[in-house]
A and B are shown apart, each in its own frame.
Chain A
Amino acid sequence: MQDIAKKNSVVAAGPKKYKQTFLTRLKKDFTKNKGLYLLVLPVLVYYLIFKYGPMFGVVIAFKDYTPGKGFFESNWVGLKHFKAFFTDYYFVRVIKNTIVISLSNLLFSFPAPIILALLINELKSKKYSRLVQTVTYLPHFISTVVLCSMIIQLTMKEGAINQILAAIGFQPVTMLNQPKFFVPIYVISNIWQNTGWNSIIYLAALTNIDQELYTAAKIDGANRFRQLIHITLPGLLPTVIIMLILQIGKMFNVGHEKILLLYNELTYEKAEVISTYVYKKGLLQFNWSYSAAVGLFNSVVSFALVYTTNRISKATNDTSLW
C-alpha cells in the first residue's frame, strides 16, 4: 500500500514539476509579451473558426448531416457516402474529365511560362523586357467573370474567332456548345491568362543564378546556346521541379469557378469535374454529406499525390518541398 502510494506520489510529482516549470515559463512569457497575447487573439480566433472549423466539419462526410443538428449531432453513417460516390453513375465521368483537363493543362500550360521567362531573360533591352512583362501580366488581373464573358463573346457563332475561321472555309458554330471544343478553350484561355504571371517565379530564379558562372563560361568560349544548356537550364531546374510537384498535387483540383461560368448541359460530358460536381450536389441539391465526402476524397487523393511526387523527386534529384 505504502509502496503504491509512494509510486503514485512520484508519478504525480513528475507532471506537477513539469506543470510548475511550464506555468512559470508561461507567467514569465506573459509578463514579457503581454501585447503579443492580445495581438494573437483575433488571429487564433480566425484560424480556429474559418480554417479549423471546416477541417473538423469534414466529419459530416461520415454522417447524414442535417442543418438542424449541426456538425457533431448528426447521425454517423460510416462510409455510406463514399460508397455511393464510387458507384455513382457520374463517378467515371467526373474523374476522367478532371484528369483530362489537368493533364492537358500540365502538357500545354506548364511549359509556357518557363519558355517565356527564358525568352525575356535573353532580352538585352531592359525597357523592352519590362514592357513584355507588364503586358503579359495584364490578363492575370482580369476577373474570371470577365475572362469567361470574353471567351463567350469571341467563340460565339457571330464572334470574332468564327468570323476568321469562316473566312478560311469553316462552318461557324457556337463553340461552347460543342463538347469537343471545351477542353481546348479551357486550356488556351488558361495559357492566355496565366503564362505571364507564372513566368515571374522563373524570372526570379533566373536572376538568382550566379553571374560569375556566365563570365567564366564566356572566357571558356561558350556561346549563348551553350550557356543556356549548361548554366541557365540547370539553374532553373529546382524551381521547375518544385512547380511541377505543386502542379501534380493540384491534379485533382480543377477549379470550379471558370467551369461553372463556361459549361452548359451540352458540354457536361466533357466539362463536369469533381469540384463542379461537389458544388452541384452540395449547394444546389443540398446533399451536404455526399458532396463533403466527394470533397474529402478529392483532398486525400491530392495530398497523396503531392506526397508521392515529393518523395520521388527527393529520391531522384534531391529537390523537394519539405
Chain B
Amino acid sequence: MRDRATSNKIKDSTLERFFDVVNIIFLMLVMLVILLPVLHILFASFSDPVEVMRQKGFILRPLGFTLDSYKSVAKNPNIVSGYTNTIFIVVFGTALNIFLTLIAAYVISRKDFMWSTLITILIIITLYFDGGIIPFYLTVRNVKLDGSIWALIIPSAINTFNLIIMRTAMVGVPESMSESAKIDGAGHFRILFSIMVPLVKSTIAVLTLYYAVSHWNSWFNAMIFLRDRKLYPLQLILREILIQGDTTMMTAGSGEDIAMIGETIKYATIVVATIPVLCVYPFLQRYFVKGVLIGAVKG
C-alpha cells in the first residue's frame, strides 16, 4: 500500500515538472507571436528599403541601418502638426479627465451628502443606456463644439468606468481621515486635494494612463467632428498615410524609389506614433489589476 502511494507521488511530481517545462515553453511561444509583428515593424523602420523589399517573411534583425525614413517622418508637416495636436489633446484632455473624475468620485463617495445616492444612480444609468452614436454626434453639434479641438476633449471628459474605479478607491479611505480634517476647519475642496488625492495617488496614476492612452489612440471622434486638417490629431494623419496609403507627400524622387521608401516610412511612422505609450505602461503594470477588477465587477 505505502509503496504504491509513494510511486504515485513520484509519477505525479515528474508529470508536474514536465508540465512546468511545457508551460514555460508555450508561454515563450505566445510572447514570440506577440512580439514578431512588433519587431518586424521596428527593424524594418531602421532597415535599408531595398533590403526590406527583398526580404521574405518576417524581419528578425535590422537589414542594414539608415535613419532616412525617420528623417522623412520628422520633415512631414502633417505628422509634426498631428503630433502637436495630439500632445495638446492628451495634456489638456487628461488634466480635465482627472480633475472631473476626482471631484465626481469625491462627491458620490460622501455618505453625509443628501444627494450622493441619487447622483450615483443617475451616473450608473449611463453605463447601461446611451443614445448611440448619432444622437451623440448631434448633441455635440448642438452645443457648437464640432469643428473645434475641444470636441475631442469636453464630450469625453468623464469615463464612467474610471469614475467608479476612483469612487471605490475613495470609499476605501478611512472616514476618520476626512473627519479630523473637517474638525480642523478644512473645506471639501481642501479635504479632496490635500487629504484624498495623496491617498489615492496610485489610482490617479493608473487612470491617468488609461485616459491619456485613450486620447492618444482615438481617431474616430476627430474624423467625425473636425474639418480643418490643421487640427487633425496624429491617429487621423496615420490613417491617411497607413490605411489610405497616402505617402506621396512624404517622398521626393521618382518611380520605384517612392514605393520602396514609402514602405519603410510607413514603418517609421508606426514606431514614432506607438513608442511613447509602450514606454510608459510597464511602470504602472502592477496597478492594472485593481482597476480592471473593480471596473468589470461593478460595470
Interface residues of A (CB under 8 A from B): 25-26, 29, 32-36, 39-40, 42-44, 46-47, 49-58, 60, 65, 67, 70-71, 116, 119-120, 122-124, 128, 130-139, 141-146, 148-150, 152-154, 160, 163-164, 167, 192, 196, 200-201, 203-205, 207, 221, 223-224, 242-243, 246, 256-257, 260-261, 275, 278-279, 282-283, 288, 291-292, 295-296, 298-299, 303, 306
Contact = CB atoms under 8 A, between A and B. Distances in A.
A46 B123 CA distance: 11
B285 A167 contact: no
A60 B142 CA distance: 14
B281 A137 contact: yes
B250 to A, nearest CB: 15
A184 to B, nearest CB: 16
Given A42-B100, A119-B23, A149-B238, A35 B189 contact: yes
Given A46-B157, A120-B27, A141-B213, A299 B132 contact: yes
B40 A54 contact: no
Contact of A33 (B16, B57, B110, B136): B110
14 contacts: A29-B114, A51-B130, A58-B131, A60-B134, A60-B138, A120-B27, A143-B273, A143-B274, A224-B19, A256-B220, A283-B224, A288-B134, A291-B134, A295-B134
Interface of B: 5, 9, 12, 15-16, 19-20, 23-24, 26-27, 30-31, 33-35, 37-38, 40-41, 56-58, 100, 103-104, 106-107, 110, 112-115, 119, 122-123, 126, 128-143, 154-155, 157-158, 187-189, 192, 213, 216-217, 219-220, 224, 235, 238-239, 242-243, 266, 270, 273-274, 277-278, 281-282, 285, 288-289, 292-293, 296-297, 299
Given A141-B217, A142-B278, 12 more contacts: A29-B115, A43-B107, A51-B130, A58-B132, A119-B23, A131-B31, A132-B27, A137-B285, A145-B243, A149-B242, A154-B37, A205-B293
B40 A224 contact: no
A205 B136 CA distance: 35
A81 B175 CA distance: 53
A70 B143 CA distance: 12
A153 B235 CA distance: 17
Contacts of A221: 5, 9
Contacts of A32: 112
Nearest to A257: B220
Contacts of A49: 139, 143
Given A33-B188, A40-B119, A204-B289, A192 B57 contact: no
Nearest to A136: B34
Contacts of A130: 285
Contact of A50 (B41, B104, B155): B155
Contacts of A55: 126, 129-131, 135
Given A49-B143, A192-B34, A299-B132, A282 B288 contact: no
B106 A149 contact: no
A306 B129 CA distance: 12
A108 B16 CA distance: 27
B157 A39 contact: no
A231 to B, nearest CB: 16
Determine which residue in A137, A141, A160, A298 has the highest number of CB atoms from chain B within 10 A of its CB, and name it: A141
Nearest to B11: A223
A33 B113 contact: yes
